[in-house]
Amino acid sequence: MIKVGIPRALLYYQYYPMWKTFFEELGVEVVVSPLTNQNILSAGSSRVIADTCLPVKVFCGHVLSLVGKCDFIFIPVIRSVKRKIYNCAKFLGLPDMTRAVIPESPPILDIEIDINKGKRYLYQTIYRLGQHFTWNPLKVRRASLAAWQAHLNYRWLMSRYSLTPPQAIERMLGTPELPSEMPQDQSAPAQATIALIGHPYIVYDEYINHRLIHRLMQAHNKVLTPEMLTQEQLESAIIRIVGRAHWTYEEEVVGAGGHYLENRTNGVIGLMTFGCGPDSLMMDVVRRRAGKLGATPFMNLTLEEHTAEAGVVTRLEAFLDMILRKKRRQVEVCV
């Protein structure tokens, strides 16, 4: 059986159920790289130049960990999924860059998704991808429809039950996704509701963000993430703040940030990595918005390879203390 490798990085958290369904419908086995760990990160960063951003370094590490375990590696180029809204340059150059820095990698399946070029181009692209495994266009069509259904299910699960992507993938596919057991004890009332905004590949990669969600839950906080909002909520928040979206994944940052800042969360944490081009602007938009509203505390955590766990923990504790103090003071005033 042909094996296709999918690196557990970057777009994995957004599209994995879709990709997996597509390939399995075509009779292909899907291999996923392990959770990010020290080896993956250092192997990845040793291949690329130093100023490459952390998520791409992690991505290269994941590709390296798949070398020898599969026949193809699937790295799509998502240029645009909405009209005239484009993606970051690093996503566009990803397959070519991987080919250049990891010459030993298995053949790369790179397809370009660009909605601006019309439906016909999209169908051709999908067929071209399917052609690696079958000549039958009907089979590709069936697989892609099933994949799309899986994707809709996945999105629905997350917004309906307030699940994070790893939890939703776990529920859909039954494969364990989480490295650490999440604190399940929800009997105690939540101390505060904290919203985490940022790209899924930072928010849900526990190695990069030093188990931030885990820590927040351990301190009895309710954690909200961008995926728990509906498309309409995200889009309306973007329109209120910047007008027209410019980046493909602007919703995760500006949309979710704007929504949570306005909607009675106790605090918003923006997660970004150093050197992220779009985030350097988008987080600033959210930060300015938070300052203008002046109601919800906002903290911006910038992560990179050298970010020490202790530093993140200290900032997190200080932030939570501040929120609790604020809550207590409000109670006193009411009394």
Partner 1 sequence: MRIAMPHMGNLYIPFKALFQRLNVDFVVPPINNQRTLSLGVKHSPEGLCIPFKLTLGNLIEAAGLGADTLLMPIGFGICRLGYYAKIQEQILHDLGYNIKMVTMGVSERKLLGFLHLIKYLSNNASWPKIISAFRFGLAKLNALDRIERVVQKVRPIERIKGAANKLFARAVEAIDQADSHGTLKKVQRDSLTRLDQVVKDTQTRPLIVGITGEFYVLLEPFSNLDVERELGKLGVEVRRTTFISEWTKFSLFLNPLGMNEKDRIHKAALPYLKRDVGGDGWESVGEKVLHANEYDGLIHLAPFTCMPEIVAENIMLKTKETIPVLTILCDEQLAKPGMLTRLEAFVDLLWHRRRKRSNDQFQHKGHS
One-character DSSP codes across 264-293: T-SEEEEEEETT-HHHHHHHHHHHHHHHHH
Q: What is the smallest separation between the CB atom of 225 and partner 1, expressed in angstroms?
A: 22
* Binding track over 244-263 against partner 1, x by CB under 8 A: --xx----------------
Tokens at residue 249, please? 């994944």
The answer to the question of residue 283 lying near partner 1 (CB under 8 A) is yes
The answer to the question of residue 281 lying near partner 1 (CB under 8 A) is yes
Query: Of the candidates 146, 242, 313, 324, which one interacts with partner 1 according to CB under 8 A?
Result: 242
* Binding track over 64-103 against partner 1, x by CB under 8 A: -------------x-xx---x-x-xxx-xx-xxx--xx-x
Query: Of the candidates 43, 109, 276, 290, which one interacts with partner 1 according to CB under 8 A?
Result: 276
C-alpha–C-alpha distance, residues 108 and 105, integer Å: 8
Q: Between 113 and 322, name the residue whose CB sits nearer to partner 1.
A: 113
Q: What is the smallest separation between the CB atom of 90 and partner 1, expressed in angstroms?
A: 6
C-alpha–C-alpha distance, residues 139 and 76, integer Å: 20
Q: What is the smallest separation between the CB atom of 91 and partner 1, expressed in angstroms?
A: 9
- List the one residue out of 57, 68, 69, 60 whose CA is nearest residue 32: 69
What SS3 state is found at 248?
Answer: coil
Query: Of the candidates 9, 28, 48, 143, which one interacts with partner 1 according to CB under 8 A?
Result: 48
Count Cα atoms within 13 angstroms, Cβ side, for 82.
11
How many residues bind to partner 1 according to rule CB under 8 A?
40
Q: What is the smallest separation between the CB atom of 287 and partner 1, expressed in angstroms?
A: 8
Residues 162-181 that bind partner 1 (CB under 8 A): none
Q: What is the smallest separation between the CB atom of 72 and partner 1, expressed in angstroms?
A: 17
C-alpha–C-alpha distance, residues 189 and 186, integer Å: 7
The answer to the question of residue 293 lying near partner 1 (CB under 8 A) is no
Q: Between 92 and 324, name the residue whose CB sits nearer to partner 1.
A: 92
The answer to the question of residue 285 lying near partner 1 (CB under 8 A) is yes
C-alpha–C-alpha distance, residues 315 and 216, integer Å: 12
Q: Edge to edge, what strands does the sheet with 29-32 contain?
A: 29-32, 3-6, 72-74, 108-109
Residue type (1 letter), 213:
I
Tokens at residue 160, please? 């309906």
Q: How far apart are the first and last CA of the chain?
A: 69
Query: Of the candidates 288, 325, 328, 329, which one interacts with partner 1 according to CB under 8 A?
Result: 288
Q: Between 247 and 249, name the residue whose CB sits nearer to partner 1.
A: 247
- List the one residue out of 46, 56, 98 whose CA is nearest residue 74: 98
Q: How many CB atoms lie within 10 A of CB 169?
A: 25
The answer to the question of residue 51 lying near partner 1 (CB under 8 A) is yes
Consecutive H or E run containing 53 = none
Residue type (1 letter), 136:
N
Q: How many CB atoms lie within 10 A of CB 160?
A: 11
The answer to the question of residue 43 lying near partner 1 (CB under 8 A) is no
Q: Between 52 and 167, name the residue whose CB sits nearer to partner 1.
A: 52
Note the residues at the interface with partner 1 (CB under 8 A).
48-49, 51-53, 77, 79-80, 84, 86, 88-90, 92-93, 95-97, 100-101, 103, 110, 112, 242-243, 246-247, 274-281, 283-285, 288, 302
